[in-house]
Amino acid sequence: MAPLPARRAWWAVGAWAAFQLTLTTLPGDVLPSLPGWRLDWVAHLGLYAGLGLLVARAAGRSGWPLRQLWLVWVALAAWGALDEQHQRLVPGRDAELGDWIMDATGAALGLALATLAMRTRLATWLE
């Protein structure tokens, strides 16, 4: 069984993933219209960057080698693809390649930022 701090970190990942799934399950007519062109891409990037950061933090606390986080990125990119396909089933929503690209890019950004932070003084803050 994982130590308590590692389990708490994975709970944060689960809570963030549930939050994302809740947002992507909302029907299109419930969502606010975002001003500007492709502002929804910023939302995709931010949500998946947060998920990537939390996963990297939990993986580090669980003793996973950080050099293998590229496998985690593949899993997060697959999660993003599944999420985009899931949105096809939600009224008023659709799946877009550009959204998935931003999901995968955000996950990579979050993983990279967390990896860099864990190699600095910020590592104690991430504890």
Dump pLDDT digits (tens) for 45-99: 999 999 999 999 899 888 888 778 899 999 999 999 999 999 899 988 888 999 9
Q: How confident is the model at residue 4 (pLDDT cuts 50, 70, 90)?
A: low
- pLDDT surpassing 60 at residue 125: no
On average, the pLDDT of the chain sits at: 86
14 and 55 Cβ atoms separated by less than 8 Å:
no
The ranges assigned to domains in the chain are: 39-126
Q: What pLDDT is attached to residue 69? A: 86
For 95, phi then psi, to 5°, come to -100, 135
- pLDDT surpassing 70 at residue 17: yes
According to DSSP, residue 58 is labeled H
Q: Which two tokens mark 117?
A: 């932070």
Q: Which two tokens mark 27?
A: 């029907």
- pLDDT surpassing 70 at residue 29: yes
Q: Which two tokens mark 57?
A: 């933090």
pTM of the model: 0.86
> Checking phi first, is residue 120 left (phi over 0); if not, alpha (psi -120 to 50) or beta?
beta
Q: What pLDDT is attached to residue 36? A: 65
Q: What is the DSSP string of 76-87?
A: HHHHHHHHHHHH
Cα 1 → chain centroid: 24
